[in-house]
Amino acid sequence: MENQGQLASLTKIIKPYLPDDVAIESVDLNSHFIENLNINSANLVDIVLDVEDEFDIRLENEDMDRMQTVKDALEIIALKTKEKEA
């Protein structure tokens, strides 16, 4: 349930960065940010900052390297949120 909420929040963050020819409906767990969603690698940096603000967490360089798909992003968010709460 929480995961659904996080997916919704993440999708909302991704939306403004999608090129005009990629529909928001096509975003799913397996979507690869660069290969499937055609998001410019520079904008991926901005998505990371928006994720940090939304979830009040901090992503390190290695987290960014690992964040290739929507599923990766959700896993990192879950991990960081858990770390914060611990």
Partner 1 sequence: MTNRVVVTGLGVCAPNGVNLEAFRNSLENGSSGIRFHEELKNLNFSCQIAGKPNIDEVNLNDYFTNVQLKGLNSSGLVYGVIAGLDAWENAGLQKNETEPDWDSGIVFGTGILGVDKFREAVYKVDQGDVRRLGSTAVIQTMASGISAFLGGMLGAGNQVTTNSSACTTGTEALLMGYERIASGKAQRMLVGSCSDSGPYVWGGFDAMRILPNKYNDHPEAASRPMSATAAGFVPGSGAGALVLESLESALERGAHIYAEVLGGASNSGGQRNGGSMTAPNSAAVQRCITDALKNSGTTAAEIDTINGHLTATTKDPEEIKNWTEALGRKDADFPTINSFKGHFGHCLAASGSIECVGTVLQLAEQKLYGSLNCADIHPEITKHIDSSCIPQSTRDFAAKISAKASFGFGDVNACAIFKAYT
Residue ranges binding partner 1 (CB under 8 A)? 16-17, 20, 42-43, 45-46, 49, 52
3-state secondary structure labels for all residues of 13-58: HHHHHCCCCCCHHHCCCCCECCCCCCCCHHHHHHHHHHHHHHHCCC
Q: How far apart are CA 37 and CA 53, in angstroms?
A: 22
Q: Please check whether residue 74 is in contact with residue 29, taking contact to mean a CB–CB distance below 8 angstroms.
A: yes
